[in-house]
């Protein structure tokens, strides 16, 4: 492993963009373009309508994107060598974070292929010595932002090779497209060889396959393509096939009556039983984003074309469903509060037969006058009113949320700052489940006691998602505030994985130290604030064609 030194003395190439409330993001459009931009533009401009065979022409639909077009691959803040250049005297934590991140790099046969989940030697390791797909995302973004795409490319290709493995749990074979949750490089000192071991859920606690890994993989492929302007990786037949296999898993026809994706508890970041089975927001938002990324990356050849058509249809249905039924604001809460139940037929207002008695007490106080969010889960007679950070931020970044909904999510975060950010950004979900609910929902999980870990714990990694979402909606000052809160303690505390307590004042009981995504999440947040054009690699502008044709009325009937 190489640990490169950081030189902060030269600092003329990166301009710091100073934010205030009136920051004009259109200024970013003036930035220099890379030679590959022309090619890339045509790739990105493919909108839902253009992709659909029934709407062959949509030139006017092309460019309502802002951040998607503003990046400039030639402008980089290299943070790895003696020629490093940086605009301002960076926060000492930033320097520390880069050094720490480099120490986590994992090599396979001499090539960097990922970053280890945590470099904490103090405790028993469990599987924190592995490269997790979801954990690598903020590391990858940091490297891309720093002009170091090689590790990202290697990671994409390495995990693609793992996808083709035969995956079995006992005698049952998993779907071909499943991507691993994590992998590990094994060194044999006697034979001096290296091999890779991967986990697709067959070793994971609870034996759940990671539904999010494939989605993150596609999202990362687009980020790489967007950031470097190099379309050749995504165009490789192997990458095209990898995408098709992932999509085949989630676009297959079945008994579904909803366009959302049905899944098991613990199949994403919250990888333990936490009542996130059914149609959890995290998976739905990532699903939506991955579909949109695939739409721009898939070649429209014989195999790709049919898939593109299915993606377009699914995106239309999914955005309608999510924007309508998962959305909660004061008005919607009022409607649910007064719902009639046991309605039958097409005219039903309370389509999922949600009982008003199932509304939890806390939600009435939590809901601000201005603001709203996507619910944790919606299914038959089931609404999970908990607020989840990742799903709501991805909804903003992918434009699953309309611009009004995105603003409302930010309004809610501002109004409920103490609850959601408090002393350490950001709560993975709010609120915690306690007592009887905790027993029933978690199965008495001692790691997920109230206000700890996945159950209302605070996760520094989520800072990058919050920051990206804030920049997207033009409110970076919110992110700046959150970063300042994190800077008070995060490095001093040794970059913990998570914090406990109602406002995140305590280092997580079983939290690893030197958790890589806590480090990388901070770096990405800082670099994005410094240069908001980086947002383009992880954000998608609204596709106007997906706007609901009918405005929401007072009920669920359209």
- Residue 130 Cβ vs ligand GLC, minimum distance, rounded to whole Å: 8
Is 182:193 a contact under the CB 8 Å cutoff?
A: no
Is 224:149 a contact under the CB 8 Å cutoff?
A: yes
The Cα 114–Cα 121 span in angstroms is 19
Of 66 and 271, the one with the shorter C-beta distance to ligand GLC is: 271
Beta bridge partners of 111: 108
Q: Which stretch binds ligand GLC (CB under 6 A): 127-135, 160-168, 315-323, 481-489?
A: 127-135
462 lines the binding site for ligand GLC (CB under 6 A):
no
Q: Which stretch binds ligand GLC (CB under 6 A): 63-71, 82-90, 129-137, 223-231?
A: 129-137
- Residue 181 Cβ vs ligand GLC, minimum distance, rounded to whole Å: 7
The Cα 30–Cα 15 span in angstroms is 13
User: What is the total count of residues that contact ligand GLC (CB under 6 A)?
Assistant: 6
- Residue 497 Cβ vs ligand GLC, minimum distance, rounded to whole Å: 7
271 lines the binding site for ligand GLC (CB under 6 A):
yes
Distances (CA, A) of 203 to 2, 132, 162, 172, 396: 30, 13, 15, 14, 33
Supply 274's token pair: 């936490």
68 lines the binding site for ligand GLC (CB under 6 A):
no
Between vectors from CA 17 to CA 12 and to CA 19, what angle results, nearest 5°? 155
Of 132 and 388, the one with the shorter C-beta distance to ligand GLC is: 132
The Cα 268–Cα 191 span in angstroms is 37
- Residue 516 Cβ vs ligand GLC, minimum distance, rounded to whole Å: 8
- Residue 518 Cβ vs ligand GLC, minimum distance, rounded to whole Å: 9
Among 185, 211, 269, 390, indicate the residue that binds ligand GLC (CB under 6 A): 269
- Counting Cα atoms < 13 Å in the Cβ hemisphere of 137 gives 25
The Cα 424–Cα 490 span in angstroms is 8
Tell me the per-residue interface mask from 478 to 517 with ligand GLC, x by CB under 6 A, - otherwise: ----------------------------------------
Of 511 and 525, the one with the shorter C-beta distance to ligand GLC is: 511
| Phi and psi, residue 246, nearest 5° | -65, -45
- Residue 214 Cβ vs ligand GLC, minimum distance, rounded to whole Å: 15
SS (H, E, C) 264-289: CCCCCCCCCCCCCCECEHHHHHHHHH
| Phi and psi, residue 333, nearest 5° | -60, -40
Is 152:114 a contact under the CB 8 Å cutoff?
A: no
- Residue 132 Cβ vs ligand GLC, minimum distance, rounded to whole Å: 4
Tell me the per-residue interface mask from 130 to 159 with ligand GLC, x by CB under 6 A, - otherwise: --x-xx------------------------
- Residue 454 Cβ vs ligand GLC, minimum distance, rounded to whole Å: 6
**Number of helical (H) and strand (E) elements in the chain, helices listed first:** 19, 13
531 lines the binding site for ligand GLC (CB under 6 A):
no
- Residue 473 Cβ vs ligand GLC, minimum distance, rounded to whole Å: 26
Of 407 and 428, the one with the shorter C-beta distance to ligand GLC is: 428
CA nearest neighbour of 477 among 399, 397, 413: 413
Spatial neighbors of 63 by CB under 8 A, at least 6 apart, are 45, 69
Q: Which stretch binds ligand GLC (CB under 6 A): 128-136, 147-155, 279-287, 392-400?
A: 128-136
Among 117, 286, 378, 397, indicate the residue that binds ligand GLC (CB under 6 A): 117
Of 134 and 416, the one with the shorter C-beta distance to ligand GLC is: 134
Residues in the site for ligand GLC, rule: CB under 6 A? 117, 132, 134-135, 269, 271
């Amino acid at each position: 492993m190489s640990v490169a030194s950081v030189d902060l003395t030269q600092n003329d190439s990166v301009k710091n963009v100073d934010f205030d409330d009136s920051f004009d993001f259109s200024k970013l459009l003036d930035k220099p373009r890379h030679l590959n931009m022309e090619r890339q533009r045509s790739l990105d401009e493919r909108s839902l309508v253009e992709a659909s065979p029934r709407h062959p022409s949509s030139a006017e639909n092309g460019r309502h994107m802002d951040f998607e077009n503003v990046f400039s691959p030639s402008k980089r803040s290299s943070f790895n060598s003696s020629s490093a250049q940086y605009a301002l005297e960076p926060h000492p934590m930033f320097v520390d974070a880069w050094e720490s991140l480099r120490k986590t790099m994992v090599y396979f046969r001499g090539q960097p292929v990922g970053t280890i989940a945590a470099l904490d030697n103090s405790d028993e390791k469990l599987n924190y010595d592995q490269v997790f797909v979801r954990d690598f995302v903020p590391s990858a973004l940091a490297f891309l932002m720093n002009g170091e795409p090689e590790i990202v490319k290697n990671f994409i290709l390495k995990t693609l090779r793992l996808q083709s493995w035969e995956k079995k749990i006992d005698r049952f074979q998993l779907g071909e497209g499943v991507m691993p949750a994590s992998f590990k490089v094994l060194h044999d000192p006697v034979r001096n060889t290296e091999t890779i071991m991967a986990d697709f859920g067959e070793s994971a606690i609870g034996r759940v396959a990671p539904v999010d890994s494939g989605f993150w993989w596609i999202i990362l492929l687009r980020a790489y393509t967007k950031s470097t302007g190099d379309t050749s990786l995504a165009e490789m037949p192997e990458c095209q096939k990898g995408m098709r296999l992932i999509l085949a898993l989630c676009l297959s026809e079945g008994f579904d009556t909803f366009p959302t994706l049905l899944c098991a508890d613990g199949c994403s970041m919250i990888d333990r039983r936490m009542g996130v089975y059914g149609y959890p927001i995290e998976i739905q938002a990532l699903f939506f984003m991955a579909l949109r990324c695939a739409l721009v990356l898939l070649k429209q050849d014989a195999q790709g074309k049919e898939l593109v058509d299915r993606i377009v249809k699914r995106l239309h249905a999914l955005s309608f469903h999510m924007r309508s039924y998962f959305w909660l604001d004061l008005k919607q809460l009022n409607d649910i509060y007064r719902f009639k139940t046991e309605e039958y037929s097409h005219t039903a207002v309370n389509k999922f037969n949600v009982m008003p008695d199932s509304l939890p007490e806390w939600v009435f106080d939590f809901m601000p006058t201005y603001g709203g969010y996507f619910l944790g889960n919606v299914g038959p007679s089931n609404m999970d009113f908990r607020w989840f950070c990742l799903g709501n931020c991805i909804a903003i970044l992918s434009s699953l949320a309309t611009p009004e909904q995105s603003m409302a999510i930010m309004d809610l975060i501002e109004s409920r700052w103490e609850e959601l950010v408090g002393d350490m950004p950001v709560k993975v979900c709010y609120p915690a489940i306690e007592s009887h609910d905790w027993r029933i929902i978690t199965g008495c999980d001692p790691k997920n006691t109230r206000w700890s870990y996945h159950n209302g714990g605070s996760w520094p990694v989520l800072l990058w998602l919050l920051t990206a979402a804030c920049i997207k909606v033009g409110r970076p000052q919110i992110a700046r505030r959150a970063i300042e809160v994190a800077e008070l303690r995060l490095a001093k505390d040794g970059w913990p994985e998570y914090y406990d307590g109602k406002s995140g004042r305590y280092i997580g009981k079983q939290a690893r130290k030197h958790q890589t995504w806590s480090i990388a999440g901070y770096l990405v947040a800082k670099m994005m604030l410094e240069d908001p054009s980086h947002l383009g690699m992880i954000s998608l502008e609204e596709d106007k064609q997906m706007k609901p044709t009918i405005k929401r009325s007072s009920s669920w009937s359209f």
